[in-house]
Structure 1
């Protein structure tokens, strides 16, 4: 039997795995079906995310972000939690020429401090919290008009603010993540982000 030999190819440039320290500056959750969140002192997280939260559950229904499925298709919920960064929110607000954007207005769950350019953390990054919780990053959270509309309701500006948020918040709107190891996260709790080795697929 002849043996097939794969052609030799050079590996692409690699960015080594790293670890970064961060902390939680605020915790938030929804009440019922409301998109906006309210501040809480701690979050109890299960494998289904935050029990009773608008974005909790093992599965979710597909929407405009998944055009490859018929809208409303049941799928794995990789968007259990919304992570935002104080410095990115401030930068987006400045770009929109408004005073502030609060995490609650756009459905945030965790306000992260200490990690620069939070929204650029790659998929598969693991967040290990001091109290034992582990979150897995699915990826960056693309800004949408729904969140922009929520901001406009607070600061005025109508459609200009709604669309302005979509433009200004690109790659600065935070991350979505899901619970890999459940437990409780408290405000002010520290965590370590384990960023995996990265490369660009060359084909």
Structure 2
């Protein structure tokens, strides 16, 4: 009889799924046409993301992160929200020789407390907000010079271009994650979040 579940020649280490308790420590929105965000008490989320936000939309145009498409190709918008952690931004600030790096300087929409190594959350992680909203993590957010330039300008760095170049190195794997809205609604500052991290494994051919 055919064995439908043969043993793998190379056993794979599987990390079980888990749940984490978290909180929405701060919320931000980017006015249409602006990269930087400003603090708000609540965010109204639809299937297009945050109403009126710079990154809202069901689709977006490809850029440097998608070299497999001609720049400007219309594609699904999986980057509707930018999520960061205060402890990781503190490390970035220290590496850049700054007193602080504020979430709004790099266009963040949500600061989450209670999740260690936030930037390492795997794709597929679901964030269930107590009020009913669900956000799904797509990927780690790679730091870029656009955000670096914004930080350098707001922090008053003497050499803005040097700061823009320093940020991608200082913030590698500390820039947070990008996510999209799976179940719409309104989220508020201080709202409880249940983060459901999926089962994880490393694929090897």
Match of residue 179 from structure 1: 181
Instruction: Give the superposition deviation at 1:159.
Output: 1.9
Match of residue 50 from structure 1: 50
Instruction: Give the superposition deviation at 1:7.
Output: 6.6
> Can you list the C-alpha shifts for 1:130-167, whole angstroms capped at 9, x where unaligned?
00000000011000000000011112132221111110
Match of residue 200 from structure 1: 202
TM-score, normalised by the number of residues in structure 1: 0.95
Match of residue 160 from structure 1: 162
Instruction: Give the superposition deviation at 1:8.
Output: 4.6
Match of residue 30 from structure 2: 30
Match of residue 8 from structure 2: 9
Matched residues in 1 for 2:100 and 2:37: separation?
16
Matched residues in 2 for 1:91 and 1:20: separation?
22
Instruction: Give the superposition deviation at 1:9.
Output: 1.8
Gaps of 5+ in 1: none
Matched residues in 1 for 2:183 and 2:120: separation?
23
Match of residue 139 from structure 1: 139
> Can you list the C-alpha shifts for 1:8-65, whole angstroms capped at 9, x where unaligned?
5244010011111110111000112010001111000001101211100000010010
Q: How many residues align?
A: 201
TM-score, normalised by the number of residues in structure 2: 0.94
Instruction: Give the superposition deviation at 1:98.
Output: 0.5
Secondary structure of 1:180 counterpart: strand
User: Alpha carbon RMSD of aligned pairs, Å?
Assistant: 1.5
Secondary structure of 1:89 counterpart: helix
> Do residues 105 (structure 1) and 88 (structure 2) align?
no
Matched residues in 1 for 2:177 and 2:148: separation?
17
